[in-house]
Amino acid sequence: MATKPIYVTQPYLPPLEEFTPYLEQIWKNKILTNGGPFHQQLEKELCDYLGVKYISLFTNGTIALITALQALKITGEVITTPYSFVATAHSLLWNGLKPVFVDIDPLTLNIDPKKIEAAITPQTTAILPVHCYGNPCEVDAIQNIADKFNLKVIYDAAHAFAVQCHCGSILNHGNLSILSFHATKVFNTFEGGAIVSPDAKIKQQIDQLKNFGFIDEITVVTPGINGKMSEINAALGLLQLKYVDQVISRREEIDRNYRNGLKDIKGITCVNKSKSEKSNYAYFPIMIDSDYPINRDSLYQKLQEHEVYARRYFFPLISDFPMYSGLASAKHVNLIHARIASNQVLCLPIYPNILDEEQAQVIDIIRSVH
């Protein structure tokens, strides 16, 4: 029996006393938002840490996604994955765009580039893939398609903080990438997000868009939104950044323990990392197949009986929510692998403060079912 509830994640918080000097600074200079000193410093430090050219901080990842689509003036149809958090597709509806769902690769659980071309129509203007669980998409294959059909690529990289692929940061692919710094993510500012952009001009447009469209005190050039990150959140980010390497290496350890502990359990497969050079161990998804005595939902229940709250990420598929289920691309036959993953994947608890004993309990419960 677990000693206390174990949730799928628990936010990382740096030592409280280390936050006090940041608060004192804010109280002293009375700059609370609007691109203050901590905001500027965090943008700079994140560029250095992540190895990207430009970052625009946002109030959350969803507003960042919505703004990224605005910045690139995306119209018509956008190809995306049904196997993600619902905000991915919602950002399209908020822009009056039509999502076109394409099935995922059964191994990586990312959008299958081989199926993208068939979904392109004269209305298609962009692809919105997700680096699911922080595993890099097939960025070269996706870029080739985008080049051939003159499409923009916006990566929902909400899971992919600090992930590196063969050529450096995964965030340097596509036209723009968005990050989420929500409490549940590897790096958090309580709420927060960002757009990563490759050049100063688009960064400037994004910064105007997130500040109502102002370019100076009296000039508004575009119907912008309020997407600004506050100084408190930016200060938290600066402090979190000091701990993020530690956080990721502890996550790596937990990932390794699960892989060792689960490897000989029949019917349980750890979802493979795709070929990222540096992972962030954001999630620990397993697949439960018919060689396991009970199905995914029964295991999910069984864990709950022991106060272990694993999560069925991503279930239901986005394409099954009522605002999407009527789309032609939401049909079951179109999304076979996404549906299998959605019915078989369970994300196990992974966060820096999980105790080794707690992790061992999770593994024991899963083993005991056999």
Ligand X SMILES: *Cc1c(COP(=O)(O)O)cnc(C)c1O
Q: CA-CA distance, 111 to 79, in Å (whole number)?
A: 9
One of 56, 80, 88, 319 touching ligand X (CB under 6 A) = 88
**Footprint of ligand X on 32-61 (CB under 6 A):** 60-61
Q: CA-CA distance, 50 to 42, in Å (whole number)?
A: 12
The residue among 38 and 155 lying less far from ligand X, judged by its C-beta, is 155
Q: CA-CA distance, 363 to 58, in Å (whole number)?
A: 38
254 three-class SS: helix
User: What's the number of CA atoms in the CB half-sphere (13 Å) around residue 332?
Assistant: 1
Supply the minimum distance, in Å, between the C-beta of residue 342 and ligand X: 14
The residue among 262 and 350 lying less far from ligand X, judged by its C-beta, is 350
| Of the candidates 106, 107, 112, the residue with the CA atom closest to the CA atom of residue 80 | 112
| 285 contributes a contact to ligand X by CB under 6 A | no
DSSP state of 136: P
List 311's β-bridge partners, or say none.
347
202 three-class SS: helix
The residue among 25 and 184 lying less far from ligand X, judged by its C-beta, is 184
| 81 contributes a contact to ligand X by CB under 6 A | no
Q: Of all helices (H) and strands (E), which one includes residue 3? A: none
Give the per-residue contact string, 126-145, with ligand X (x = CB under 6 A; - = no). ----x---------------
| 311 contributes a contact to ligand X by CB under 6 A | no
| 186 contributes a contact to ligand X by CB under 6 A | no
Applying CB under 6 A, the span of 66-74, 139-147, 151-159, 220-228 interacting with ligand X comes to 151-159
Which residue number has the CB closest to ligand X? Answer: 61
The residue among 6 and 195 lying less far from ligand X, judged by its C-beta, is 195
Cα–Cα distances (Å) from 184 to 7, 51, 55, 234, 349, in that order, read: 11, 23, 21, 17, 12
The residue among 158 and 286 lying less far from ligand X, judged by its C-beta, is 158
Residue ranges that bind ligand X, judged by CB under 6 A: 60-62, 84-85, 87-88, 130, 156, 158-159, 180, 182, 193
